[in-house]
Structures are given as structure tokens and as C-alpha cells.
Chains A and B, each alone.
Chain A
Amino acid sequence: MSERPILVVGGGPAGMEATRGLAAAGYRAVLVEKRDELGGTPVSGSYAALTPDFRDAGEAMAEMAATIQGDPLVDIRTGSRVTDASGQAGAFAVTVEGPGGSEQLEVGAVILATGFQHFDPGRETQQYGYYEYDDVLTLVDLERMLKTGQVLVPSTGKPPERLCFIQCVGSRDRQIGNEYCSKVCCGVAAKESIEVRKLVPDCRVFVFYIDMRMYGYWEPQIYWVSQEQHHVNYIKGIATQITRTKDGRLLVRGEDTTMGRPMEVPMDMVVLSVGMEPSPGTIEMAGVFGLALNKYRFIDTLGGALDTVTTSVPGIFACGAATGPADLEDSVSSAAAAAMKAIGVVRRAALAGST
């Protein structure tokens, strides 16, 4: 008996890489994506350039998609969702609803790559006035602006003279419940700070932080570059409040901790470095497949540091930001690990069936 196909849910970087890996190894894959196009959050979130290498996000995602589109081993179903699942490792039955209606598929293993959503800075707390002030943005809003090739203060339409990032918004916060570090926001802020300085050379850019977390090569690639070549100011201290000055500018209040003095500085734009939370799709799929979630409602993985993809249900694996905050490197790496484990499940099932 031949191997059953492997279901991949989610067409972002992790899902596309898992699918590519399966097909490259000669296994059939069904990729289900609820949106009408592949590319995941980098595309739906209108990312301009990827962190840390400044690659055009749209181009990079299209390149990933091209590796699986048209592959006879890959069945891509966009605009579709998994609504029901039963069975066990080696023999799952899943219901997929798509533009053509509802269909039941037999698959041998499942890879969930359903990703994250950006923290909504107005959800828990209004301390930064995200929904109050037009000139308070998130990393994602700025990304969208960078994609247009222009950075303009929303309320005035003019280029900013002073812009700051506030790190760890929605992350590392017991008050909010997100105790984890979202891993990518430091790098994304550093990358965007460079882009802002390039587009608006007269703009002074500040990053208010708790710790700057620049893993591995991100240190010389974006952090040092932003500081040494683009003179971005990194100030250890998190703003507690944003108000408005009489002349309509934003006023950021915090502590300049390393200088040991209070700080009250005017800004034209404030960018909130929002972190990651589980996407609705991640939580929904965990329900459909009966997977345990962790404390933060990402998909729980059981193998600790040495197995980042095995979930509470045999034959079902999770990768990328569905299991917790992940950068692109993490996402494609765990996707490959998930693909290999899924191949193991369907191959062994096939071998067991043939004896």
C-alpha cells in the first residue's frame, strides 16, 4: 500500500516550507489555506521587507509559493478550511470546506502551520492611546507605510522629525498574561528604524526598550548597523504613558534608566512594537484536531528543546508560530522538522500495511 498524503494547514512561510519539503522527498501533500492566496502573515500584513535581510517580503513569499505551485505532488487549496477531523496516526479523515464545497480527505499525518496574530495594543490597555491618537502606530502599520516608500505623520501628512519605537508591547507582561518574549519585535524595530532613517534622513529615531534581543547574526546585521551607521538611539526604559502637547505632538513619558533621570520627550510618531499571540486559526485547528494548548494558547509541544514539533496527538505536528513566537528562521526550520516527522508516520504506516 502506498503512503497517504500529508495535510498541511496554513500557507505561510512554515506551511509552504513543510509542503515543499514533503514534495521534495517525494511525498504527496495537501496544503489548506483559509485565505485566497499563499504567503501568510508577511503577505496579509503587507510586510515591506523581511527581517533581518531586507528582502522584499512579497517577492520572497512568491518565490516560496513558486516552489510548490504546479508540483504534481502538491494539492493546494486556498480559500479553504478544515472543519472536522477524525482517525489516528497513519489514517486521518478530514473535512475540508472550500469554494467547491465540502470534501472528505484521507491523510496519513497532519502538520499545523497556522501561525500567530499581532497583539492588539488597544485590547487590554489603552495606556499608549493606540485607538486615541492617529500618530500612534504598530510595527505592522509602519510596515504597511514603508511598503508605499513614504513615512508620513498620519495627522499632518508631513515627514516625522522625531519617531520612537516602544518595545515589548503585549509581550513579557504579567498584567496582560503574555509572559513570553515575542522574539522578533526587537529585530523588526531595528530593521524598520534603519528604513525610516533611510527614507527620512533628518528624522531622529529612538527605541525605548527593556532588553534588546538580537539573536545570533541579527546583532551585526541590524542592531549595530542601526546604531552605528544610522544613529538610532536605543534608550533603556519603557514609556509609561503617551499624552499630547499643546502643539499637537505626542509626549512620551518614561525613565531614561541608564542616565538615571526622568524623561518626557516630544515625538511626531510612536510605533508600538507589538508581539505575537496565537492566531484564531491556531486555536480553531487545535479544537478541530483535539490538541492541547499551552498556557498562552499556542499549540503545546511535548518534546522540549529537542523536539519542537510533536503535539499531544500522535501523527499531528505543529510548526512555525503556531507553537509560540517564532522568527522566519525558526519557522522554516521547525517546518522541515515537522515534514520529516510526518513522513516518518506515513511511511511506517505504509510499511506496516504492506506486511
Chain B
Amino acid sequence: MPDHLNALQLILSGDPTLVAIVRLSLGVSLAAVLLAAAIGMPLGALLALTRFPGRSVLVVLLNAMMGLPPVVVGLALYLLLSRSGPLGEFGILFTPTAMVVAQTVLILPIIAALTRQTIEDLWTEYRDELSAMNVGAVGRMTTLLWDARFSLLTALLAGFGRAAAEVGAVMIVGGNIDGFTRTMTTTVALETSKGNLPLAMGLGAILIVIVLAINAAAWGTRAWSQRLTG
């Protein structure tokens, strides 16, 4: 049977190895997005609403970190988490936890930077009105985060897309251990080099479908919010 038909059969039959890999990948990336959102959104909003010396440097730095190379994140975390590293005592290197941490670090700047931009734009629009309603600092932040909810959802999807598609960071801190830390991207890399093309192609196809679905969701969210809130 040709490789691509084999790949299709793997997907359609719900091959347990393949399903486990997809599930782990999505779980790790989803956890990373939630963590990065919980930290990055308030951080971005805070950066948008405060003025202090060195702020523009921080904004530029944050924007630059959106393009952080995954392998560099992986390497840095490897050094931190390895037995002899400063965080070695936690013993999480080569576990899914380390992969979640790595992807969180990778997409935190994306979510924080996009939040900062969104909130700052909205604040320009809302400033007078909220000041006239005597809204305090915390109220401003929560109001802006809520009213920017649809744009921020797009930021989350961007973060998720980046996390799901990266290979370098999870490969280094996860170790690509069969049945334990093997994700879609690391499996594709490994199986391709081994010449096991059906599994690589099947996972590749699933990855593309996921990325497509995320972008469709982002587009749909925008259209829906336009209709809903103007």
C-alpha cells in the first residue's frame, strides 16, 4: 500500500499510538495557552495602562520576543531544568510538565504583546468615557480586558497555533520519549528521519487540519463579534 493511503488508514482507524500522540500534543499546548493567558493578559494590560521610565524599551523587547526561536527557549530551559541546573531539584526535565513550561515561555510574549497592543488601542478610545465615569485602575483593566474579549481570543488562538506547531522546544525539554513525551511535531521529525512515512504523513495532515481549524476559528470569531458588538 502506498504511504499516503497508509497514513489515511492510520487516521481513519484511530490508531492508538497516533491518538495518544495527538492527545498529548493538544493537552500540552492547551495547558501552555491557559497558563500564558493567565500571566500574559494581565501583564499586557498593565503594560498598556502604565507609564514608567524604560517602558518603551520593555515594549520593544516584548515585541521582539514574539519571534523567540523555539530551540533557544528549549536550550535555556534545558540548562535550568537539568539535574545540575538551578531548577534541577524539581526533576521535571523530560516530562510533559517541562514541555508545558517551555511552550508557556514561548507564547507568553505573543499573548502579552498582542494584549498590550489591543488594550492600548482600546484605552485611547475609552479613556475619556471611563474617566468621566470615575472608573479606578482595577476597573479600567477589567473593563478593557472584557471589552477586548474577541480580539484577545484571536491572540490566544495565535498563541495556540504557535505552540502546536513548534518542534524545537518540546524536543529538547521533552526528550521525545516514546509513549510519554512524543508530540505530533517531534514524531514527524523522528519518523521521517527513520523512513516511517505513513505515521509522519498522518500526523502532518492532522497538524495542518488543526492549524487550519484554528485560523478558521479566529476568522469566525472576528466575524461573529463584528455582528454581535459592532
The yes or no verdict on A and B being binding partners is no
Which residues of B are interface residues toward A (Cβ below 8 A)? none
Which residues of A are interface residues toward B (Cβ below 8 A)? none
